[in-house]
Structure 1
Amino acid sequence: MTERNEALTANIARYPWYLFFRDGYFWGPVFFLYFSSVLSLSEALHLEAVYYVTVAAAEVPSGYLADRFGRRRTLMCSSGCLGLAYLLFLTGHTFWQFAAAQLFLAAGFASASGTDTALHYESLKDLGREAQYASLEGRALKYSLLAGGGAALLGGLAAAGHLRWVYGLSCATAMISLGIVMTMTEPEGAKGKVAAPFGPQLRHVLRKARGPRLRFFTLYALAMTVLLHIPYEFYQPYLKQALAWSGVGPSLVPPLSGMHLALTMVLGAFMTRFAGRIHHRCVVRRTLLACALLQVVLIGAMALVVHPLVALMLVGRTASRAVSTPLVNAELAPLLGRHERSTYFSLQSLLGRLAYGGALVMLSLGSGLFSDALHGALVCGLVLALFLFGGLFLVPFPWGEHPVCCRGGEHRASSVAHPAGDVHEKPLG
């Protein structure tokens, strides 16, 4: 094994640990409580606006920079921004200090979006191991979900001492993730291909996203962003209502919410093992639609009844993400050249954010249709979820040139066999 192959193999081994330490969001269960304990409610809401506007503005440019200047540098910038954001949250006392922290937080998340999975795929591709991408991406996602579950529990305990301590823990893990990225090697990718100037690059990626080979997965990622976020957005107030229905006091809601989140992450981590076992084209489509349908069922259950059993069902809301994300990434990565891969994934993330922003506006309008605002928002969410699922069901699936059904004895004839970074795209059969 050459020295470079050893370095790329080390990339693959370290990548799950990079995600583990980067995604240790100890602040997740209490960040809004912390904001509102230091600032007024109005200022806390303004902080959220600062974050969402910044991350939307930085999403695609950061992906372009990764295509232009490299994955490793962009991920180093991401971890550095996250660490600085957490340090500002830990030490800040004013709105402007917190606003600066939100800017760095948004830059950190935007810089990592799409760049992390691109580095992972390209490291495998340079070693000729891209066929293992789906299973190894699922394994890496398992580390991320376990980190989220553990951080939710530890963050709740740390917040009992002081709310700002959670940012000290997150700052430490962000610095560890920076150290891991610094030891990684930049994959070579396809030699001779560099990203075009930003405007032409963006137009090219938009055309490709609408093309027959990527259209289904682009729309699927957009729809799933909405379908995954609706249960996430409303599970805490729903859990509060379900526990009140059971006679549980309000003082027990925060710790039970933290346990609920931890169980959700652990179940999601367990489900990641199944993505790498799916090999046939018909099974890929059925699995992706089943993941979307699960979210529709969960949203429908929340909209129709308030009951502890539904709250327990919501533990499974991350299972869809755990299975679908590695599958979608494994389908998309080979169809994208190295010079456009991060730009596309960032564009996909931005479209999902914009779609969910529009959904939130729709849900806020729906909340006024019933005396119970939560019930109104969830009913509106169910209508939207059914519409999105119906659209996914009707969008043509890119079967490939020689589609092989699970009834046959061969492996799937997937896009992995014809990576777009190396050959010209061929029309679908």
Structure 2
Amino acid sequence: MSTVFGPPSGRALVRRYYLYRATLSVGFITPIFTLFLLRSLTFTQVGALSALYSVLSVVGEVPTGYIGDRLGRRASLLLSVLFTVGSLAGFILAEGFLWYMFLYALWALALTFRSGSMDAWLYDTLEERLETDQFSHVRGRGDAVQSWIAAASMVTGGLLYGLEPTYPFIAAVLFNSLGFLTLLSLPKNRQYAERDDTGPDRLGPLEALLVVRDKLARPPLRSLVLYLGLFYAVLGVAHTYVQPMSIETIGPYATGLGVSIPVGGATAAARSGEVGAGLALGLGVMYAALTVVASSGGYYAGTIEDRIGVRKALLIVPIVMAVAFLMPLWVALLALPTFAAMRTAKPLVQPIANGYINDHVEEVGRATLLSVVSMFYMMLRAPLALGAGMMADSTTATMAIAALGGLFLAAGGTIWLFGEVAPETETTVREGSSSPTS
């Protein structure tokens, strides 16, 4: 299908990849999603949905990563778009905990079909047409493009929610459906375009498991995967509480600007319908501003890797994020830099970490291995989501996020001290790294 657009050069292909990343944005629903759920759910139920999402992602990661290695990365990404659009459409039509469980299951499938295949497709494509030392640059700038598009749509999403809570989801369905077209403009990786399913380089299920065991049971990936899993899990759970934490910490200051803040907390406000147009729009503007700041993380990921190296980047960024989680307990207005750190950390770390992982696994089985890395993250996220939900119900969302930060400092520090996280090896020393093609 990609030939419809002509045989793409390396530079043109990178631009098409950026266009695909733009269609992954869910900015229309991001600033209001938790409030949307709290119309009929408690924090504990929201945490249970997040835990369910994590468990289903764990169950699905290896099979969907195997499908990505077996059928092709682009086919896997097309399935991801299908499940994403289906889940978003469901939120327009259905309401209630049981329905939301089903929609979260679709969302989990969407993630698992994309998690390993997207980076595996990019790495293999760069290897075929450009140079793999550009992976962190191109991947990071793809994150930045996705963030910029998200920021542009977040303000609109907040405004639409103030008019009717389902409007942001309608906009998201229309926008994310464009992902089908952008994917069809991307070529298959060469091994899938030139070989059939009986080719010698296709993995069987047993071979896929052997690749996973061989790579993750020993350094340099063993401690790294555990450390990253904890980092991504803490960060993923914390994102759920940004909207209620905003009302708790920044809300009292917003009244001076003429924005009406409901009494009774985020749950009471969402259920009573008191989240008016002004507050919803304010959340959209705040998210958009933070997302623009966060885009610098992905945009400069390659530069930071070149300057300080993989190991230092993976140590410094998560620690700064965890400390930022604790600060709003003492100074409420520090919630804003906390949100900025929260949104910047993963776009900064993920391209660097995934580039390191890609450097240590062969072309065959790459999507499977990256899916297993995501599986570890989801395994850790499930209990954290339940625990944070119960803590937020019994205390505050601000306290729940602070507890997550403290947990990472303790557990992540232990892994770093007693493990061997991202040691420098011959495959990670990249000489003569050039500027990204964009």
What range describes the TM-score normalised by the shorter chain of this pair?
0.7 to 0.9
Cα RMSD of the aligned pairs, angstroms, is 3.3
Distance 1:363 1:94 in 2: 21
Residue 31 of structure 2 aligns to a residue whose secondary structure is coil
1:400 to 1:258, Cα distance in 2 relative to 1, 3 A: same
1:135–1:101 distance in 2 versus 1, CA, 3 Å: same
1:29 is paired with a residue whose SS is helix
| Other-structure match for 1:263 | 289
- CA offset digits 1:264-309 (Å, max 9, x no partner): 211111232322224559632112211011112112213x414213
Q: Which whole-Å deviations, capped at 9, do the CAs of 1:8-60 have from their partners, x for residues lacking one?
A: 654322111111112234222333544565x6769975766664443332222
The equivalent of 2:245 in structure 1 is 238
The alpha-carbon deviation at position 328 of structure 1 amounts to 0.9
Using CA pairs under 8 Å that are at least 6 residues apart, name the structure with larger relative contact order, 1 or 2. Answer: 2
Change in 2 beyond 3 A, CA 1:244/1:103: closer
What secondary structure sits across from 1:250 in the alignment?
Answer: coil
1:212 paired residue number = 219
- Partner of residue 419, structure 1: none
Give me the whole-angstrom Cα distance separating, in 2, the residues matched to 1:93 and 1:179. 30
1:169 Cα deviation (Å)? 1.3
Q: Name the counterpart of 1:225.
A: 232
8 Å contact from structure 1 (residues 122, 189) kept in 2: no
Distance in 1 (CA, whole Å) between partners of 2:174 and 2:250 is 35
CA distance in 2: counterparts of 1:50 and 1:309, whole angstroms: 31
Residue pair 1:67, 1:338 contacting (<8 A) in 2 also: no
Aligned to 1:153: 155
1:62 Cα deviation from its structure 2 partner: 1.0
Name the amino acid aligned to 1:194: D
Q: Which amino acid aligns with 2:21?
A: L
Q: Is the 8 A contact 1:85 1:104 kept in 2?
A: yes
Structure 1 counterpart of 2:414: 391
User: How many angstroms apart in 1 are the aligned matches of 2:42 and 2:395?
Assistant: 22
What's the secondary structure of 1:6's corresponding residue? coil
1:86, 1:167 within 8 Å by CA — same for their partners in 2?
yes
What's the offset of the Cα at 1:94? 7.8
Percentage identity across paired residues of the two chains:
20
Q: Aligned partners of 1:261, 1:411: CA distance in 2, in Å?
A: 38
Contact 1:54 1:103 in 2 (8 A): yes
Among candidates 130, 139, 142, match of residue 140 of structure 1 = 142
Q: Hey, what's the Cα distance between the residues in 1 that align with 2:95 and 2:36? A: 11
State how many pairs are aligned. 402
Give 2:345's aligned residue: 320
Aligned to 1:329: 354
SS of the aligned residue for 2:250 comes to: helix
**What is the rounded CA distance, in whole Å, between the counterparts of 2:245 and 2:67 in structure 1?**
40
Q: Secondary structure at the match of 2:289?
A: helix
Q: Which amino acid aligns with 1:305?
A: W
Hey, what does 1:31 align to over in structure 2? 33
Q: Using the alignment, how far apart are the partners of 1:101 and 1:175 within structure 2? A: 17
Query: Residue 26 of structure 1 aligns to a residue in which SS?
Result: coil
CA distance in 1, matches of 2:242, 2:139: 27
- Where do 1:50-199 residues align within 5 Å? 51-92=53-94, 100-189=102-191, 194-199=201-206
- Is the contact made by 2:305 and 2:313 (CA closer than 8 Å) also made in structure 1? no
- Change in Cα spacing, 1:279 to 1:34, as seen in structure 2 (3 Å) is closer
1:296 aligns with 2:298: no
Superposed counterparts of 1:35-54, under 5 Å: 35=37, 51-54=53-56
- Corresponding residue SS for 1:337: coil
Q: 1:126 to 1:5 in 2, by over 3 A?
A: farther
Return the alpha-carbon distance in structure 2 between the equivalents of residues 11 and 95 of structure 1.
42
Amino acid at match of 2:412: F
* Alpha-carbon distance change, 208 to 29 in structure 1, aligned in 2, over 3 angstroms: same
Query: After the TM superposition, which of the residue ranges 255-264 and 49-58 deviates more from structure 2?
Result: 49-58
- CA shift, 1:133, in A, is 1.3
CA distance in 1, matches of 2:133, 2:386: 41
Which residue identity is paired with 2:125? S
Instruction: Say whether 1:272 aligns with 2:298.
Output: yes
Deviation at residue 391 of structure 1 after TM alignment: 2.7
1:349 to 357, 360, 374: 374
Structure 2: tracts of 5 or more residues without a match: 263-277, 434-438
Displacement of 1:139 in angstroms is 0.8
Q: CA offsets per residue over residues 244-271 of structure 1, 9 Å max, x none?
A: 5537341565433332221221111123
Question: Once the 2 structures are TM-superposed, how far is the Cα of residue 224 of structure 1 from its aligned partner?
Answer: 1.7
8 Å Cα contact 1:67-1:341 kept in structure 2? yes
Question: 2-side partners of 1:379 and 1:22: how far apart?
Answer: 29
Distance change (3 Å), C-alpha of 1:18 and 1:282: closer
Q: In 1, Cα distance between the equivalents of 2:308 and 2:119?
A: 25
Q: Report the Cα distance in structure 2 between the residues aligned to 1:231 and 1:139, rounded to whole angstroms.
A: 24
SS at match of 1:30: helix
Residue 436 of structure 2: aligned partner: none
SS in 2 for 1:336: coil
Moved more, 13-22 or 203-212: 203-212
Equivalent pair of 1:26/1:155 in contact (CA under 8 Å): yes
- Kindly provide the CA deviation profile for residues 121-152 of structure 1, in whole angstroms up to 9, marking residues without a partner as x: 11111014212111111110101112222232
Instruction: Flag the 1:209–1:281 CA change in 2: closer, same or farther, 3 A.
Output: farther
Does the CA-based 8 Å contact 1:23-1:148 persist in structure 2? yes
- Contact in 2 for aligned 1:126/1:189 (Cα 8 Å): no
TM-score (norm 1): 0.81
Q: Deviations over 1:205-229 (max 9, x none)?
A: 1331232121243123212213423
Amino acid in structure 2 at the alignment position of 1:352: Y
CA contact (8 A) 1:135 1:277 kept: yes
Q: Is the 8 A contact 1:226 1:356 kept in 2?
A: yes
Contact 2:144–2:298 (Cα < 8 Å) also in 1: yes
| Alignment partner of 1:250 out of 261, 264, 280 | 261
What stretches of structure 1 of length at least 5 have no aligned partner? 405-409, 414-429
